[in-house]
């Protein structure tokens, strides 16, 4: 069974078949090569995890390079929702293929998103049939939270991390997402990074590593 999306990967540090899969979802104008560099840091604490960083399916329409999960020419909620709904079947097929080819379940999978990748992760995984182990979202937002009220089917633990000086996705988006998720009984934590722009810093990375390690803790025992 081939994967609907392709991109770089990192095999388990242990050398064993993967017991977990961590899927890294890049932001607008980047590609899978952008986030795979984080994998070795996570692998130090998750030696049995395979790391996958798929390229988004579409060329970026706002730059002469890079990829996008959906267009952000229109940053309105309705336009973004349409884009997410359009790409959702592709991502769901990809995740299903990852599970099947590695003989894993949703409880063995975590998503790490950045910016648009966080938007995708939140939109899709909260509407899956079963919850994944964890969702770690950097510098993103929850698109159309009102729609989620009637559509949520899974409640994985979520950690949101966002720079207070983000000029791309407003810092306030983190609190709005956290409030909406908490109201829907999704276990959610939010971590603000003072002085940080639209990026991931060492403290945010360390917090994410601790979060995923804890989420997979029972599986590793």
pLDDT tens-place string over residues 44-75: 999 999 999 999 999 999 888 899 999 998 88
Say whether pLDDT at 2 is over 70: no
Residues annotated as catalytic (active site), given as ranges: 115, 166, 198
Say whether pLDDT at 218 is over 90: no
Residue 163: give the domain boundaries.
9-220
Predicted local confidence at residue 145, as pLDDT: 95
Q: What is the CATH number of the domain that holds 76?
A: 3.40.50.1820
φ and ψ of 65, to 5 deg: -150, 170
pTM: 0.95
Residue 149 within any structural domain of the chain: yes
pLDDT tens-place string over residues 114-162: 999 999 999 999 999 999 999 999 999 999 999 999 999 999 999 999 9
Collect all residues with Cβ–Cβ distance below 8 Å to 168 and sequence separation of at least 6. 115, 139, 198
Residue 25 within any structural domain of the chain: yes
Residue 4 within any structural domain of the chain: no
Q: What total number of domains does the chain contain? A: 1
Q: How confident is the prediction for the chain on average, in pLDDT?
A: 95
Say whether pLDDT at 38 is over 90: yes
The encoded tokens of residue 52 equal 């996958």
Residue 213 within any structural domain of the chain: yes
Residue 1 within any structural domain of the chain: no
């Amino acid at each position: 069974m081939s994967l609907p999306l392709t991109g770089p990967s990192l095999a388990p540090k242990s050398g064993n078949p993967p017991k977990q899969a961590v899927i890294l979802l890049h932001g607008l104008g980047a590609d899978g090569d952008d986030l795979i560099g984080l994998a070795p840091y996570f692998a130090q604490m998750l030696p049995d995890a395979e790391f996958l960083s798929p390229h988004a399916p579409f060329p970026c329409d706002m730059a002469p390079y890079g990829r996008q999960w959906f267009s952000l020419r229109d940053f309105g909620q309705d336009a973004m929702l349409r884009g997410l709904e359009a790409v959702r079947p592709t991502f769901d097929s990809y995740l299903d293929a990852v599970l099947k080819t590695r003989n894993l379940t949703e409880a063995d999978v975590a998503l790490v998103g950045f910016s648009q990748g966080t938007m995708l992760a939140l939109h899709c995984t909260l509407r899956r049939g079963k919850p994944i182990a964890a969702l770690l979202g950097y510098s993103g937002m929850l698109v159309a939270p009102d729609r989620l009220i009637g559509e949520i089917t899974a409640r994985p633990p979520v950690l949101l991390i966002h720079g207070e000086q983000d000029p791309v996705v407003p810092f306030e988006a983190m609190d709005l997402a956290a409030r909406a998720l908490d109201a829907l009984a999704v276990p959610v934590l939010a971590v603000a990074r003072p002085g940080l722009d639209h990026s991931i810093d060492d403290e945010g990375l360390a917090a994410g590593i601790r979060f995923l390690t804890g989420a997979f803790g029972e599986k590793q025992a």
